[in-house]
Amino acid sequence: MAKVGIIGAMEEEVSILIEKMESSGNVKKICAGELVFYAGTINNTEVVVVKSGIGKVNAALCAQRLILQFDVTHIINTGIAGALGGNLKIFDMVASTDAVYHDMDAVLFGYKPTQIPGMKISEFKADENLIKKAELAFEKTNSVDGRKILAGRIATGDQFIADKEKKEYIKKICSPLCVEMEGAAIAHACFLNKVPYLILRCISDMADESVEATYSFNESVAAQESAKVVIEMLENFMGGIMEHTEGHYKVDSFNLDHTKVTAPFVRLASKKVGQKGDVVTKFDIRFTQPNKEFMTTGAIHTLEHLVAEYIRDEIDGVIDFSPMGCRTGFYFTVFGDVDEEFIAKHLLNVLKKVAVWNKVVPAATEKECGNYRDHDLEGAKKYALAWVNGIESKGWNCYK
């Protein structure tokens, strides 16, 4: 089942959505820090609506909260923007194909404008299915001849663009259709968390010196037009998604493209935040290449016993180390907001010991184990050594 997080920076951008939820009598108001979330349904789709506040940091924090605390499956950012390309006019609309930071500038160190140092990707691609749903929803809701919706790049920065010279500079470095102040930060958070997203913008101004005369007049109308398209998108939401794709599943590994990864690796699978703020983090610890090589059940069983016992000497807050049904790796779950590098470092310490283990396997008796006869220490040592050599030679990233 889908749960859609909807973010607007300003009250005008979310009010119509909240009113729609309240009219059905099915809305719950949840305060988290300085944010107020409205959980309920719109057009029979489960949604969580929130006003993030203006700017990149506000937007990114809000998106992360939606993902971790509310477990949303998709995020839509609704709102207004200034036109930069595509012959856009006031009240035309843009559905993002990708999003970039126009104010990311590390040119002095050899990077291109908009390029984020240390990241392989600086253009965060939107979900194609959501783009199609937005285009269809616009056609259904638009009642004004001459209005259009275009799919294209959106540029984000912590600046309100009202200057022709600045406008031309942004067009030169990244060729966006429009410019605003939150979208790429939300896209960035969604990219890192593997959550499909869309930025939807209605044009309120031309991002030049005419802003002062037009923005305040157009702001409310543009915000409402964007929200109307979002409401229409939520009609039969997953039905429309499934027409174009195999779907986004509730199980993380089902959404992983197993043809694109290279074992061994450590991959963040999910993070969950409890009602009292406790964080539980789950990792995909892959030993063998998916659909190419499979560990024997005895070797998996022995690895589970050895790692589950001795990883607790390395890391506090271990919850579980459990084998995957596909026999290519394990899921490792811990308390705390920790990253892949941390997990890889401590697993290396344990698996180096396993690779040369010459003692009895812990808890491998009939009294202690539910299948004590099915153990393979030599197989476990072989897979442990291969994992250690692979991680030390190529690193822990799944896409190397």
Q: Report pTM.
A: 0.62
9 within 8 A of 222, measured Cβ to Cβ: no
Domains and CATH numbers, the chain: 3-242 (3.40.50.1580), 252-394 (3.30.1360.80)
Active-site annotation holder among 13, 180, 284, 340: 13
Is 182 designated active site? no
Is 205 designated active site? yes
At 246, list the tokens. 């195999």
* Three-class secondary structure of residue 97 per DSSP: strand
The continuous run of DSSP H or E covering 189 comes out as: helix 183-193
Q: At CA 234, angle to CA 228 and CA 239, rounded to 5?
A: 145
CA–CA gap between residue 190 and residue 188 (Å, rounded): 5
Per-residue pLDDT tens digits of the chain, which is 400 residues long: 789 999 999 999 999 999 999 887 779 999 998 899 999 999 889 999 999 999 999 999 999 999 999 999 999 999 999 999 888 999 999 999 999 999 999 999 999 999 999 998 899 999 998 999 999 999 888 877 788 999 999 999 999 888 888 889 999 999 899 999 999 999 999 999 999 999 999 999 887 756 554 555 588 899 999 999 999 999 877 665 544 344 456 677 887 889 889 999 999 888 887 766 788 999 999 999 999 999 999 999 999 999 999 999 999 999 999 999 999 999 999 999 888 999 999 999 999 999 999 999 999 999 999 999 999 999 999 999 999 999 999 999 887 6
CA–CA gap between residue 65 and residue 53 (Å, rounded): 14
Closest to 182 measured CA to CA, from 32, 67, 80: 80
Active-site annotation holder among 205, 208, 219, 225: 205
